[in-house]
Amino acid sequence: MLTLLSMFYYICLRRRSRSGTRGEALSSRRAVESGQRATLPISVEVEQYAKEVLDFSSHYGSENSMSYTMWNLAGMPNVYPSSGDFTQTAVFRAYGTWWEQCASAPLPFRRTPKAFHSQDYIELAFEEPVYPTAVEVLETYHPGAIVQIMACSLNPFSQNPPTDIRWEVLWAEEPTKVLTPQARQFSPSIKQLSFPTNLIRVEVNSSLLKYYTELDAVVLRGQKDRPILSLYKMPRIDICDLSDSDEDLSDPGASFRQAGDGKHINLGNGYFDKLPYELIQLIVSHLTLPDLCRLTQTCKLLHQHCCDPLQYIQLSLQPYWARLSDTSLGHLQGRCTLLQRLNLSWTGNRGALTLTGFSSFMNACGGSLVCLELSCCHFLSEPCLEVISQTCPGLQELNLSSCDRLHPQAFTHISKLTQLRRLVLYRTKIEQTAMLSILTFCIELRHLNLGSCVMIEDYDVVASMLAVRCRSLRSLDLWRCRNLTERGLAELAAGCRLLEELDLGWCSTLQSSSGCFQHLARNLPCLRKLFLTANRTVCDSDIEELAANCPALQHLDILGTRMVSSSSLRKLLQACPKLLLLDVSFCSQVDARIVQELCGLFPNVAIKKSFTQ
């Protein structure tokens, strides 16, 4: 009955908004009959490309060049309408599900909303704030990764930023699998905003893609003045607003302010009084965080269940990054006394979280933490890391990926976390002294990511220290470290013989002629993932050594080598029955015909061969 009344109310409002008042209708009719035309102000539509890249979560390229970096999204297109693999485009670090299958991948968090699909993002600033009428993304290779486009009320070029910063979703959808890798102009239908914007955020999910997606440019179209029709538009009620959508959460802890005393009165709760406490807890555990907050407000019994600290052993606030603040953390603080896994990735930027709010929460809830995800948290400072080192003595996993604004001195505090097993420092400014200090004290490390850490001067010294102090290491990411030599690699292979994953992509100082890759294969029999991306010197002898010594190999990337033939690849495919991914893009001796033949012989292996049109 309530649903029917709601729909009736919705229809009446829509009819009213369309028809206007009786006087307006009569005036309009007289105007038409008399042949008069109403003169409306014309607002010119502005078309502009991104002026500046403000922030992003990852990119394939180097911090010291423009190839495959997010900075290529600033300005006019470089490639479109051409299709293919071009260095002048923006490319994210990962694609597909390969990274999720690795031992180094973190466990997923419970209670992540089904509507949250984003894995990476980029924020772009445009010259002039406009009321958006369209956002166009020029995708030049393997399109389909974009899952959400957002707009911000903040003008990034303004000298007086507002105290209240709003993010609105212009468009959102589930990940899609586009059948063709060809270029396209992606321009979804966007919703109308009540404020002008020149800050656009594009979020992507590449899990369904067969290869890296490449973006060339982003176009923002809009009007400088608010569209005239929207000024007279009556407020409408959308049927979607009548449901308990998980996007209603403007403040994840708002309901706590209306909470009662939390005492369980076993009276007047119907059949709930007959259910065991544990069973209600199990039912409640399936709710998302916003639904949990809503349920808190229904009655004292359910308030007690929803506030039970056992419901907050794991807490992922990443899906709510746009609305999380010090106030939100303060309201959640009382519930999280048993918190073990916390995900604050993407949160707190532009002043939403402060040192005071973060410190208060960590002091109250950090004692039992074993996992802390802080990817792209630009509110972090040296005092924040000091607080983490003091309040989280049992921390085993720490992710600081793309926290590129942290001062190098801040990383020295990590060495106090002696129980660390997984440490992600991708795209940070950690220096060699701090890294060596961490390796001296954190000898339990199993997984270490130093990808694109350009401030480390001598990776040979780091590799030697790893070989001595971290013999239980399982995965090591040295993506784009340019000063690792065969000496450091040999010591690493001799000391860390349990390594299962090793990323040496774009490590140009390693030369196959030194025998370093063959020595690597002979010393690491447990190897499951090996990336030798863009090392031009990899040859048949290296591939054959992998085939002879690494039967568990699952992922191999040898993109760009000129010295590997189809015969050695065939030996590898025959000797490694667990192989799932083989990237031979831009391997000059392996053409499309050979790839097609190998795909037919080994259908369970995804053999990648990129192209440029």
Per the DSSP assignment, residues forming a β-bridge with 91 are 214
Contact yes or no for 527/505 (Cβ under 8 A): no
Mean pLDDT score, 547-573: 97
pLDDT at 518 over 90: yes
Per-domain boundaries in the chain = 45-227, 313-456, 478-612
Give the rounded distance of the alpha carbon of 222 from its chain centre: 28
pLDDT tens profile 422-468: 999 999 999 999 999 999 999 999 999 999 999 999 999 999 999 99
- What is the band of 42 on the pLDDT scale with cuts at 50, 70, 90? low
The pLDDT assigned to 238 comes to: 38
pLDDT at 13 over 60: no
pLDDT tens profile 371-386: 999 999 999 999 999 9
The pLDDT assigned to 99 comes to: 87
Find the distance separating the first CA and the last CA of the chain, reported in whole Å. 59
- What is the band of 229 on the pLDDT scale with cuts at 50, 70, 90? low
How far is 76 from 124, CA to CA, in rounded Å?
Answer: 13
pLDDT at 314 over 90: yes
Q: Which helix (H) or strand (E) holds 608?
A: strand 606-608
Residue matched to tokens 């009655």:
299
Residue 212's closest CA among 69, 76, 50? 69
**Lowest-confidence range among 252-266, 276-290, 312-326, 418-432?**
252-266
- What is the band of 520 on the pLDDT scale with cuts at 50, 70, 90? very high
The pLDDT assigned to 255 comes to: 39
The pLDDT assigned to 446 comes to: 98
The pLDDT assigned to 234 comes to: 41
> Same fold for the domain at 45-227 and the one at 478-612?
no
Take residue 119 and report the two structure tokens written for it.
């894995």
Q: Is domain 313-456 in CATH 1.10.3720.10, yes or no?
A: no
Choosing among 3.40.1710.10, 2.60.120.380, 3.40.190.10, 2.60.120.260, the CATH entry for 45-227 is 2.60.120.260
The pLDDT assigned to 23 comes to: 46
The pLDDT assigned to 161 comes to: 81
- The residue that leads in pLDDT, 246 or 540, is 540
Per-residue burial over 16-25, b = 16 or more CB atoms within 10 Å of its CB, e = otherwise: eeeeeeeeee
- If you average pLDDT over every residue of the chain, what do you get? 89
Mean pLDDT score, 563-589: 97
DSSP 280: H
Mean pLDDT score, 182-208: 96
The pLDDT assigned to 613 comes to: 67
- The residue that leads in pLDDT, 239 or 588, is 588
- β pairing state of 475-477 and 52-56: unpaired
Contact yes or no for 348/379 (Cβ under 8 A): yes
The pLDDT assigned to 98 comes to: 87
- What is the band of 160 on the pLDDT scale with cuts at 50, 70, 90? confident
pLDDT tens profile 524-540: 999 999 999 999 999 99
CATH architecture under which domain 478-612 falls:
Alpha-Beta Horseshoe (3.80)
Helical axes 432-441 vs 459-469, angle rounded to 10°: 0
